Amino acid sequence: MTVYALGDRVPDIHPDAYVHPDAVVIGAVTLAAGASVWPQAVLRGDYGTISIGANTNIQDGTVIHCTMVDATVIGAGCVVGHNAHIEGAVIGDDCLIASGSVVLNGSRIGDGAIVGAGAVVPFNFEVPARRMALGVPAKIREGYEVPLGHVELNVKMYAANSAYYRESLRRLD
C-alpha cells in the first residue's frame, strides 16, 4: 500500500483495515477496523482530517479530501462508489454515496441516506437521514424513504473482498 506521512500528519490505519497497494493514503487519515480502500482511491489529509468508519468501503478511483475548515468524516458501514469525490463533508452511518457523485464542503448526509450516481451535493447542503439526493445540483427525492439495511449486502461483499485480496493478491510483473 502507498501510505505517506506529511510532516507531523501520520495516517492511523487499524490492523483490520485493508488498503489496496494501488490506493494512496496521505497525512491525517484514520481508517477504522474493517474499512477498505480500493485501487486508485486517494485519501489526502493534508490540511485537515479524514476519518473513515468501521466496515466502510471506499471504492476504486474515489478522491477524499478535507480543508483547514472542514474535516471529512464518513461513518460506519458506508459504501462510497467508484469515482466519487467527497471534500469537507460529514456522512452518517450506513450511507451510499454512489458512483461518480460529488459531496462538497460543509454538507451533511444523514444516517442511511443515499446520494445517487452522478449527483452533486452543493456546499452546506443537508440530506436528512434515510432520504435520497439526486441530480445536479442534488435535490431531495420527495416522498421516498430509503429502506433500512440497503447497503448491508455491499458492505459484507467488500469485507469478504478485503479478506480475499489480503490473502490472494499477488503482483505478476
Separation CA 53–CA 104 (nearest Å): 19
Residue 120 maps to a domain:
yes
pLDDT band at 19 (very low <50, low <70, confident <90, very high): very high
Residue 145 near residue 131, CB atoms below 8 Å: yes
Residue 99 maps to a domain:
yes
> DSSP state, 140?
E
Instruction: Round the average pLDDT of the chain to a whole number and report it.
Output: 97
Q: Is the pTM of this model over 0.75?
A: yes
Q: Could you give the C-alpha distances from 141 to 65, 84, 161, in angstroms and in order?
A: 27, 20, 32
Separation CA 92–CA 151 (nearest Å): 13
How do residues 44-66 score in pLDDT, each as one tens digit?
999 999 999 999 999 999 999 99
Q: Annotate 98-119 with DSSP letters as a single string.
A: -TT-EE-TT-EE-TT-EE-TT-
How do residues 120-157 score in pLDDT, each as one tens digit?
999 999 999 999 999 999 999 999 999 999 999 999 99
Residue 101 maps to a domain:
yes
For position 1, what pLDDT does the model report?
67
Residue 89 maps to a domain:
yes
CB-based burial label for 68 (10 Å; 0-12, 13-18, 19+): exposed
Residue 114 maps to a domain:
yes
Residue 91 maps to a domain:
yes
Residue 81 maps to a domain:
yes
Q: Give me the number of domains the chain comprises.
A: 1
Print the domain residue range for 30: 2-168
Residue 173 maps to a domain:
no
Separation CA 11–CA 16 (nearest Å): 14
How do residues 81-113 score in pLDDT, each as one tens digit?
999 999 999 999 999 999 999 999 999 999 999
Residue 93, domain CATH: 2.160.10.10
Separation CA 30–CA 6 (nearest Å): 14
